[in-house]
Amino acid sequence: MTRTVAREIAMRLCFSISENPSRPEGLLEQVFDEEYYLSLTPEDKLYKEFPDEKQMEYIRRLVTGVGEHSAELDGYIEKYAKGWKFGRISRTAVAIMKTAMFEVLYMPDVPDKAAINEAVELAKNYEPPETVSFVNGVLGSFVRAETV
């Protein structure tokens, strides 16, 4: 499993938590029960490989971190989404941006450019081109202003 796949799984879990508030630890435990996880494979090729220990730690760190810092990350999205009300932004785009913002702020082992680039590539799989541009713009503004 690549870091890109692990990031996408983490983003989906962050989306799930935002849509159905629950403890991140409980969701992680449920999804990464090996039998349950492998049962997802026929529905979605993303789950064809069970994460190894390093990948699992990355996913866990990202999902729990986004959960713990959700209000802070929402604030950054509101701050840098000029002219957009938070409620108008797709929940998927929000999950993608929160994932990238958490990496930038709290995961120094992930280069800022990699976090943004991966978020934009991920957005291309889920969102129309104008939303992809929006995600790129918000994240670019965020990094320029918050990581000085």
Q: Domain extents for the chain?
A: 3-146
Q: What is the pLDDT along the chain (148 residues), one digit of tens a residue?
A: 899 999 999 999 999 988 777 788 888 999 999 899 989 989 899 999 999 999 999 999 999 999 999 999 999 999 999 888 888 999 999 999 999 999 999 999 999 999 999 999 999 999 999 999 999 999 999 999 998 7
pTM of the model: 0.93
Q: So what's the pLDDT on residue 107? A: 96
Burial 7-32 (b: 16+ CB within 10 A, else e): bbbbbbbbbbbbeeeeebeebbeebb
Residue 105, Cα to own-chain centre: how many angstroms? 13
Q: What is the pLDDT of residue 138?
A: 97
E strands present in 2-148: none
* CATH 3.40.30.10, applies to 3-146: no
The residue behind tokens 């999950």 is: 95
Q: Distance between CA atoms of 104 and 42, rounded to whole angstroms?
A: 33
pLDDT of 148 = 74
